[in-house]
Amino acid sequence: MTPYSRADRVGGLIQETLSEILFKHVKDPRLKMATITHVKMTRDLKIARIYFSISGGAKKIQAAAEGFKSAMGFVKRTLAHRLDLRYMPQMEFYYDDSFDYGSHIDQILNSIRTDNP
């Protein structure tokens, strides 16, 4: 069994804490339905790539990205206060399209099932 790297542990901690901050403290309506799906840290812990998911199409995705950009200062300050890290990583937010891809594959499989009884 391979132990998790420090970057994986810090990423999990950031994901958990950021999800709580979004749920309890951020009042921006653009981020109401956003879900943090994954946090990938660089090995030197300087950059956190945060992946989010939201339903509602391209307009909602763009609005959520803008919401994360405007809430960056508050989120970073709150994370720094809660996490005991020497250096607070730079945060980059990305839309996680894996759910859209999974839905697309599911639609293809369902169409195959209906075509071939």
Rg (CA), the chain: 17
Enumerate the domain spans of the chain: 6-115
Q: What superfamily in CATH does domain 6-115 come from? A: K homology (KH) domain (3.30.300.20)
Residue 116: the pLDDT is 63
**Alpha carbon distance 19, 75 (integer Å):** 10
- The rounded average pLDDT for each run of 10 residues, N- to C-terminus, in the chain (117 residues) is 78 94 91 92 94 90 93 92 89 89 84 71
Residue 75: the pLDDT is 92
Eight-state DSSP code of residue 30: G
Going through the chain in order, the beta strands assigned E by DSSP cover 35-41, 47-53, 90-95
The sign of the torsion formed by the CA atoms of 69, 41, 57, 79 equals negative
